[in-house]
Amino acid sequence: MYQAKTDYGVSLGDQLAEKAVGQLAYEIDTEVTQLLIDNAAADSRLTFSRTLPIGVSKAEHYEGFSEIKNCI
């Protein structure tokens, strides 16, 4: 580890710790997301198609998604 610090100016211990923290954060985020998915209630009012209807702008179409979310 000393060799990497002197040759490249990099602390392998610091890099390993940083990678471990990143991995832990990823695992926690994944677990929380999966819990949200598993416990989400199905509701027929929450239907939305990404296909743009004729005569509706993309911005207006996606604003409709926000309205659907806020109705529940």
Q: Do 29 and 47 belong together in one domain?
A: no
Using one digit for the tens of pLDDT, what is the confidence trace for 10-23? 787 888 899 999 99
Number of domains in the chain: 2
Write out pLDDT tens, residues 16-69: 899 999 999 999 999 999 998 898 877 776 777 788 889 989 899 888 878 776
Find all residues with CB under 8 Å of 65, minimum gap 6, and list them.
48
Cα-Cα-Cα-Cα dihedral sign, residues 51, 57, 60, 66: positive
Q: Are residues 48 and 29 in the same domain?
A: no
One domain for residues 17 and 48: no
Domain containing 30 equals: 1-40
Q: How much is the mean pLDDT over the chain?
A: 83
Is pLDDT above 90 for 1? no
**What's the one-letter identity of residue 63?**
E
Pair 61, 50 in one domain: yes
One domain, residues 6 and 30: yes
Q: Is-above-0.85 flag for pTM?
A: no
pLDDT at 72 over 70: no
